[in-house]
Amino acid sequence: DMKDYQGGRSFEDLKKFADENLGPTCGPGEHIDLCDAETKARIEVYVKMSAGKLEGKIRKAQKDFEVEVPIMKKVFAHLSKAEGKSDL
């Protein structure tokens, strides 16, 4: 969870905040046990892939996002205008 830091800027203040609020997060490797079952399963699928295949999946996902999301937003705006509401 992202937290808005409102504390002091000295090393001691930052160190205290980090010690109390920051720590390991879910991810591949030694912290996989911090993941929920669904995330853990997805990570395990990706870990089994070659670096090249994973890189290709990343490129495809980025391209899909860059192309599809703007189109979906335009369609959503059109539908919202037709219905007289907008939430995005």
Q: Using 50 as the pLDDT threshold, list the residues of the chain that sit under it.
A: none
- pLDDT at residue 21, rounded to an integer: 83
- Which amino acid, one-letter code, is at 76? F
- pLDDT at residue 33, rounded to an integer: 94
Residue 55 CB partners (closer than 8 Å, separation 6+): none
